[in-house]
Amino acid sequence: LYTLGRLHGPDRQTRGSGVVVMPTDHGGNSRILLRLACIQGFGTLVMAGFWLWLSGYTSALASVAGGAAVMVPALLAGVVALARRPGASARQLLGSLYRAEALKIGLTLGLLIILVPLFAQALVPLLTTYTVVIFLYWPALLTGARSDTAEG
């Protein structure tokens, strides 16, 4: 999860061949993953509480499942994207991002294929929480970009 500002900023290093080598600042990227998990987890719990109050336990459980269908693939993709060796080239970085995105898409589809029939009686809580938690990507990433810029 590398921000575009870092790709073009002073953090990049070039070797004699002109190949761009990206630093491996896992600390900042790990903070973004943690922030994403916290914001999406909080959103999932709020939605589950709402559905518990509105419709009962089945709806709340479907809501948690909808949030998990977003969070689990996103966090695993983040771990895969960060699993690169020090001194990785831009090509290697891009490859890890492509692998991470493929994992996220495949895992999301797999979870939804399992969860939709499982919670057929509570599709509205499942899908509304899924949608809300997807939209929570942006606050997590934007607050992360602002705090990273303020630190550096």
What is the full per-residue pLDDT of the chain (152 aa) written as tens digits? 444 444 444 444 444 444 444 444 555 677 888 888 999 999 999 999 999 999 999 999 999 999 999 999 999 998 888 877 677 788 888 888 899 999 999 999 999 999 999 999 999 999 999 999 999 988 877 776 555 555 55
Query: What CA–CA distance (Å, rounded) separates 9 from 27?
Result: 17
Chain-centre distance for alpha carbon 122: 25
Q: Where are the alpha helices (DSSP H) in the chain?
A: 4-8, 26-55, 57-82, 90-118, 123-135, 137-151
Query: What CA–CA distance (Å, rounded) separates 57 from 60?
Result: 5
Strand pairing partners for 14?
A: 20
pTM for this entry: 0.74
